[in-house]
Amino acid sequence: MKSRPASPKLFGTDGIRAHAGGYPLDPRTIPAIGRAIGAELGGTVILGCDPRESSPWIARLLRAGLATVGAWVEDAGVVPTPAVALLTQQADAAGGIMISASHNAYGDNGIKVFAADGRKIENDAEARIEHCVATDDGADAATSFDSTGDGDTHDPTPSPLADRYVELLRKRFPSGNWLSGLGIVVDCANGAMSRIAPAMFRALGAEVHAIHADPDGTNINAGCGAVHPASLLATVKENPADFGVAFDGDGDRAMFATRAGRLIDGDAVLLLITRRLRRAGKLENSVVVGTSMTNYALEQVLAAEGVRLVRTDVGDRYVFREMLSLRASIGGEPSGHIIFGDFGLSGDGLLTALKLAETIVEGTSSLDALTKDWNPMPQLIRNVPAAEKVPLESLSEVSGKIDEIAGLLRGRGRIVVRYSGTEALLRIMIESDSAETNEAYAADLAALFVRSLGPAGRLSMG
């Protein structure tokens, strides 16, 4: 077995994420992570997971580590990530843990950690956990554990804690069948929303056509869900509905489809909810929080309506932190993480879908009509494999090319280049008034990056 690094950097943009069975999600390290989290949080911990095949054995090893430091675990079973956040807050627990790799393929998994207030832990807490793991010398019988599954399975029946999450969410909306007559296609990504979301919409009176809602442990996010919306768009066309919604594997983000088959991302949702809040006089400080990836067109449209867009680094916890600082009512990411100031927690795809449905019902207007003036600037995102995340400023030709492209786009677009916080990728994002220009600039920069990095820093494109 590969030895544990002396000073591990475990946390990325959104928790710990890796291939299940490999470091740090291996049978020796997971109990150490459990001990470190238990020592950091103390007391009762809410534990949930998504339905990928590695989640049960990872949960078992985490519980073993937590138990050694006296942490008491309340098992929520298969629930979306936002359920763990909300349950942690409402149950007055010491913290929460979600086992999920979000939108990644089933072979990956991850660990997200929440503080007692239901918010993702801060950087200093992550650093303390990393230090504890690095210095942990506990010997675990789990070292010889077969991480291929060992017969573990998840009960697909919603747990009492899952039911409690649904109840807490419903209390934030009108009582009764207020979605009566509304047709909704729901793509659950074969993930954590598969049992919960269709049942919620049906209970509120909607006519629901659910797709990709039969998780088998290996089909999570497989050609479906928020990161693969083609299936949703096609189904909405084939089964006419008022709108469609696609969640990602752990349910903290949502993308939408109009009846006409138009994809509605997080930027468009921000625009619709912002306009609704303005009409109601509830848009605090006339500010919206986005990220470096937020489309330039949203910034322009909001500015024309007297609303300021403030950008943060990518990651919903950074959006949330900035919202608190500015006392903003709304914030989010193009990927579909939307955060509501009145909710006080990070992204919840089901909450977002219900808020959007409420906007449609309230305005007695279709999603197509509500978004008819939304024309995002052509945006291209190119992912370049990078086994080693070499600081871009140390690659002089690459950094020079980025500056050159930024200069050429000044006044008509933007370029953002960054390493992914969850995958071994360099992400190149270019926006301009020309899709062809975006493609040409991205291709040049990607090729230059690969040449500059050299063979040792490349991953196979296959």
Which CATH number fits the domain that encloses residue 307?
3.40.120.10
Which of 197, 228, 262 corresponds to the end of one domain?
262
* Pair 410, 452 in one domain: yes
Residue 15 lies in a domain: yes
Domains: count for the chain? 4
Instruction: Give the pLDDT confidence score for residue 460 in this predicted structure.
Output: 37
Place of tokens 């990928």: 52
User: Is residue 128's pLDDT more than 90?
Assistant: yes
Instruction: Give the pLDDT confidence score for residue 152 in this predicted structure.
Output: 57
- The pLDDT of 169-174, averaged and rounded, is 94
* Pair 250, 303 in one domain: no
Q: Is 164 left (phi over 0), alpha (psi -120 to 50) or beta?
A: alpha
Residue 365 lies in a domain: yes
Percent of the chain with pLDDT strictly greater than 90: 81
Q: Is 332 left (phi over 0), alpha (psi -120 to 50) or beta?
A: left
Instruction: Give the pLDDT confidence score for residue 246 in this predicted structure.
Output: 98
* Pair 22, 139 in one domain: yes
Please write the tens of the pLDDT for every residue from 220-248: 999 999 999 999 999 999 988 999 999 99
* Pair 310, 193 in one domain: no
* Pair 36, 132 in one domain: yes
Q: Rounded to whole angstroms, what are the CA distances from 10 to 5, 15, 24? A: 10, 8, 7
Q: Rounded to whole angstroms, what are the CA distances from 257 to 61, 112, 181, 244, 407? A: 40, 29, 18, 5, 35
Residue 155 lies in a domain: no
* Pair 268, 364 in one domain: yes
Instruction: Give the pLDDT confidence score for residue 234 in this predicted structure.
Output: 95
Quickly state the pLDDT bin for 316 (edges 50, 70, 90): confident
Q: Rounded to whole angstroms, what are the CA distances from 383 to 183, 269, 289, 323, 386? A: 36, 25, 25, 29, 9
* Pair 364, 386 in one domain: no
Q: Over the chain, what is the mean pLDDT?
A: 91
* Pair 270, 350 in one domain: yes
* Pair 15, 137 in one domain: yes
Please write the tens of the pLDDT for every residue from 143-170: 445 554 444 555 556 689 999 999 999 9
Check: pTM over 0.85? Answer yes or no.
yes
Q: Which three-class secondary structure state does DSSP give residue 356?
A: helix
Q: Which three-class secondary structure state does DSSP give residue 243?
A: strand
- The pLDDT of 25-42, averaged and rounded, is 96
Please write the tens of the pLDDT for every residue from 353-375: 999 999 999 887 899 999 999 99
Q: Rounded to whole angstroms, what are the CA distances from 73 to 88, 211, 236, 294, 408? A: 11, 33, 41, 38, 55
Domain hosting residue 245, numbered range: 175-262
Instruction: Give the pLDDT confidence score for residue 144 in this predicted structure.
Output: 44
The CA distance from 223 to 18, in Å, is: 20
* Pair 253, 185 in one domain: yes
Please write the tens of the pLDDT for every residue from 189-231: 999 999 999 999 999 999 999 999 999 999 999 999 999 999 9
Instruction: Give the pLDDT confidence score for residue 157 in this predicted structure.
Output: 61
Instruction: Give the pLDDT confidence score for residue 43 in this predicted structure.
Output: 92
User: Is residue 28's pLDDT more than 90?
Assistant: yes
Residue 247 lies in a domain: yes
Half-sphere exposure of 34 (CA within 13 A, CB side): 32
Q: Which three-class secondary structure state does DSSP give residue 427?
A: strand
User: Is residue 415's pLDDT more than 90?
Assistant: yes
Percent of the chain with pLDDT strictly greater than 70: 92
Residue 157 lies in a domain: no
- In 10 A of CB 151, how many CB atoms? 8
Choose between 460 and 290: higher pLDDT: 290
- The pLDDT of 391-407, averaged and rounded, is 93
- The pLDDT of 260-283, averaged and rounded, is 96
* Pair 248, 278 in one domain: no
* Pair 363, 439 in one domain: no
Which CATH number fits the domain that encloses residue 453?
3.30.310.50
- Token readout for 73 is 């675990």
Choose between 87 and 452: higher pLDDT: 87
Residue 77 lies in a domain: yes
- Phi, psi for 414 (deg, rounded to 5): -150, 160
Residue 462 lies in a domain: no
Active site residues: 102
